[in-house]
Amino acid sequence: MDIWLNQVDKSSPTPLYEQLYHEMKEAIIRGDLEVGTKLPSKRQLSEFLAISQTTIELAYGQLVAEGFIKAVARSGYYVEQVEELAYVDETRMEHEQSESLKHVYSIDFNSGRIDTSAFPFNQWRKYAKEVLDETSRDLLLLGHPQGDVELRQEIASYLYSSRGVRCTAQQVVIGSGTEQLMPLLIRLLGKQSVFAIENPGYPMTHHIFDNNDRKTLAVPVDEDGMQVAELDKKPANVAYVTPSHQFPTGAILSASRRVQLLNWASAKEGRYIIEDDYDSEFRYVGKPIPSLQGMDQRERVIYISTFSKSLMPSLRIAYFVLPMHLLQAYRQTFPYYSSTVPRLDQHVLAQFMRDGHFSKHLNRMRKLYRKKLEKLTQALDAYKPTVQISGEQAGMHIVLTIDSESSDSELVELAKQQDIRVYALSDYHHPTENIPSNPQVLIGFGGFEEEAFGPAIEALMKAWHIKKA
C-alpha cells in the first residue's frame, strides 16, 4: 500500500476522507492501481493509516459514486476501467495559462471600447429598482419567444424615427447579441444559401458562417462600400453588408451602390440582403443615410443591429427585423425557441426608451464622440502626409494609411514593443488578397479621454519613427 498511498496529514484543514479519496483517485488515473486490483478492506486500511473505518468508508463511497472503483458484495472493492486521461505537464499548462491572459496595454486603440463615464446611471438605476417590485412578478416567467412586446414596440418606433426602418413589433426578434441571432438567420435562409461577405470584413461574422457550414464568397470593398458589380459575378443569393460604417474600412455604402444592391436582390427570387447597421447611431458628417430596409420595396432586406455601442456591450441585447413573408417561416423553423434575453433587462430597456432617455443618451454620446474624433484627427494632422485618415465620417474608429516600407503587421509589432495596441487591416481580409500596398491600421477612439489623444498619438508615431511634418 505504501507504494501508491502517502500518509494522510491529520494536521491539514482538508478532511481526512478527502485526502484519501484524492490520493486513491490519482493512483488509479496514473495507473499505479491497475484495473481489477482489489483494494484493502476498510479494516486493513484503517489500521494501516491509523484512522477510523468511517473515514475509509466515506472515501470509498465517493470513489464508487464517480466510477473509479466498484463494490462487490462479500468480496470487497475493485479498481474499475477508467479511460486514460491525456497527460498535461503542469508547468507547461501554467505557462500557457499565463500566456493566454490578456495583456493590458498602456495604450489600446480598441474599436470596441465605449465611454462608460457618460452612462446615465441614475435613470437606469431608477428603472432597475422599479422592475424588482413585487408587482412585476410576471417578469419572472417566460415571455414571448421573440422578446417582450413592449420592447419590440419601442425598437420599432425608434428604428422608424431614426433609421427609416418600416416595421411592426411582430417583425422584431430580440436576442442576446448578433452572434446569437446570426445563426438563426443562417438556418432560416436554408442550407442551399450562399453568402456574399465584405472583404475586408468582421472576422466574427466569417466564423459564424463557417461554423454553421455555410458557403461564403468574398466581395471586395472600396471607398463606396461593397462593389456590387463584383457581387453580380458571384453565385451568391444572400449579401451580408455593413452599409452605415463598413467594418473595418469605415466606408459608407454610397447612394448609387445602395440602389444597385437592392436591384441585385430584386433580380432573382430567393435573394436577400442582411443589413448589419453597425455604428449607424454615430454619424458626424451630414444627415444620417436612410437604412437599406427603409428603401426596400420588395421585402428583400433583413435588418440587424445591437445596443452594444449605443448603450453598453454587457447589456447583450440585439435584434433583427424580418420581412413579413419570412415571419411565418421563422416561427415554423423555431417553434420551441425562447428569448435568450432576461425579461427584467428587456423591461428596463423598454421603459428607458419609452421615456425618451435612450434618444437623449444617443444625442449626448454623439456630441461626445464627435469631440473625441476632432481631438484625434487634430493630433494626427501634424503627421500628414505620411499618415492619411479615412473612415472618419461615422462610427468609433478610423483607418490610418501610412506611407511606409513596413507592412501593417510590422507596424503593429513596433507599436507592441512600446506597449501600444493598434490593429492591422490585413487581419480582416479573407482571403488575404487585394491588400493595399501601403500599410493600414485601425484605431478606435471611443474609450479615450479627450486629453489623452495627443500623448497617445505622439507615442505611436515615435514607435513608428514618424516625425511631424
Give a three-class secondary structure readout of 189-211.
CCCCCEEEEEECCCHHHHHHHHH
The secondary structure of residue 234, as a DSSP letter, is S
Q: Which of the residue ranges 62-71, 131-140, 373-382 would you say has the lowest mean pLDDT?
A: 131-140
SS3 137: helix
Question: CB of 238 within 8 A of CB of 266?
Answer: no
Query: At 398, which amino acid appears?
Result: I
For the residues 165-187, what does the mean pLDDT come to? Answer: 94
Higher-confidence position of 335 and 165: 165
Torsion angle, alpha carbons of 99, 100, 104, 110, to 10 = 140
Q: Which three cell numbers stand for residue 235?
A: 453565385
Helices (H), 309-442: 324-333, 343-354, 357-381, 408-417
Torsion angle, alpha carbons of 60, 65, 69, 74, to 10 = 70
Residue 90 scores a pLDDT above 80: no
Q: What is the pLDDT of residues 202-225, one digit of tens each?
A: 888 888 999 999 999 999 999 999
SS3 89: coil
Helices (H), 248-303: 255-267, 292-295
For the residues 104-118, what does the mean pLDDT come to? Answer: 90
SS3 94: helix
Residue 155 scores a pLDDT above 90: yes
The secondary structure of residue 253, as a DSSP letter, is -
Residue 3 scores a pLDDT above 50: no
Q: Where in 279-328 does DSSP place strands (E)?
A: 301-306, 318-321
Q: What is the pTM of this model?
A: 0.77
For the domain bounded by 1-93, which CATH number is listed? 1.10.10.10
* Residue where the block lists cell 435562409: 189
φ/ψ of 151, rounded to 5, equals -70, -40
* Residue where the block lists cell 457618460: 118
Residue 433 scores a pLDDT above 90: no
Per-domain residue ranges of the chain: 1-93, 107-113+362-463, 120-359
**What was the pLDDT predicted at 315?**
86
CA-CA distance, 225 to 292, in Å (whole number)? 13
Residue 142 scores a pLDDT above 90: no
For the domain bounded by 107-113+362-463, which CATH number is listed? 3.90.1150.10
CATH number for the 120-359 domain, one of 3.40.640.10, 3.40.920.10, 3.30.300.30, 3.30.70.660? 3.40.640.10
CA-CA distance, 2 to 44, in Å (whole number)? 13
- Rg (Cα) of the chain, in Å, rounded? 29
* Cα within 13 Å of Cα(308), Cβ side: 20
Max CA separation in the chain (angstroms): 91
The secondary structure of residue 417, as a DSSP letter, is H
Cis omega (within 30 of 0) on the bond before 385? yes
For the residues 87-91, what does the mean pLDDT come to? Answer: 47
Residue 464 scores a pLDDT above 50: yes
Mean pLDDT of all residues belonging to the chain: 89
For the residues 152-164, what does the mean pLDDT come to? Answer: 95
Residue 390 scores a pLDDT above 50: yes
Residue 99 scores a pLDDT above 50: no
Q: Which of the residue ranges 65-74, 315-324, 352-361 would you say has the lowest mean pLDDT?
A: 65-74
SS3 441: strand
CA-CA distance, 164 to 159, in Å (whole number)? 6
Cis omega (within 30 of 0) on the bond before 342? no
Question: Among residues of the chain, what percentage have pLDDT more than 90?
Answer: 59
